[in-house]
Each structure stands twice: as C-alpha cells, then as structure tokens.
Structure 1
Amino acid sequence: MGKSGYPIPVRWTLQNDAGVVTSEYDLRDEGVEPLEREFTLSAFGLPEPVGVEWERPVRWYLWLMLAGMVCLVAGGVFYWLSRRRAGGTN
C-alpha cells in the first residue's frame, strides 16, 4: 500500500500456453499530488497548442537584482544627505 492508501503494483505475471512472462515495477508513492506543470504537453516534449501560454513564476535572481539596485540607490541618497548635512563640497 502507498501513502495515499492505494495499492502499488510490484509485479505482473502472464501465464499462457507459450510460457510465463513476468514484469517487475519500481513505483513509488510520495504521498503528494504532482504539480500541474508536470502534466503539460511541453513536459513530454510536445508543442503546446496555439494560444496556450503557462504562467511562469518570476526568477529569484531578478528579485535579488532588484533588491541590489534599491540598496545602491538608498546608499547614494544617504551618502548625498550626509555630505549635505556636513556642509562639505567633496
């Protein structure tokens, strides 16, 4: 039995007049539902129909670049404010 309560096939045997054929399986039940993107046509190497576009999450490095730019701008503003407050021209 798998984690979801359903039986998982391990071995399949066919016996007839010609002989016996046995197949073994190595299946696992992780207990979690698969993601929707795992069942798209493109996941199996097939082209998607015209007009079908899947929503993709924004990459983490884009958020990191944005945070870096914000930090640079904030640093420049604080530097400018500190020089202005000190009364220096350098």
Structure 2
Amino acid sequence: MRSAVLLTGLLLDLLFLVPAKIGTAVLEGIRDAADKERLVTEESIKDKLKELQVSLEQGEISEEEYEEAEEMLINRLKLLSQGGEG
C-alpha cells in the first residue's frame, strides 16, 4: 500500500512539475539567447518568435510563458523598427 502511495506521488510530480520546469528552462534559454545575440536584426527576432511558437505547440512551454516571451520579443522588434538599440 505504501509503495502505491509513493508511486502515485511520483506520477503526480511527473505530470505537474516536470512540464513546468521544462517550460521555465526553455523560456530562460530564449531570454539568454536574446541577451547574447542582442537581437540586432528583425530577422533574428522573427526567428526567435518562430522557435517560441514551436515550443508552445510541442507543449514545452505554457501559454503564459509563451505570451511573456512573445511580448518581450515584440517589444524588441518595435524598438528596432523605431531605430532604438534597447
């Protein structure tokens, strides 16, 4: 009986915690890449937006994480189009 409870706990952790941790790691990776590259071209920002969309579609990040990263990238794109270096 005790092993069934432990197994259930482990399965619940896998179902709920692992996707959140993976999503956070993906989001942090996108942010780090954006910082490193400084996203200096419109093309590179659009590429990051495409990568972000794929991550969402594959379930690697949540809708909330997607929206947060998308907003950051779109703001950077707007700054770039206005001639700012951000």
- Classify the TM-score, shorter chain: 0.3 to 0.5
Higher Cα radius of gyration: 1
TM normalised by structure 2 equals 0.33
Q: RCO (CA 8 Å, sep 6+): is it higher in 1 or 2?
A: 2
* Larger proportion of strand: 1
* Larger proportion of helix: 2
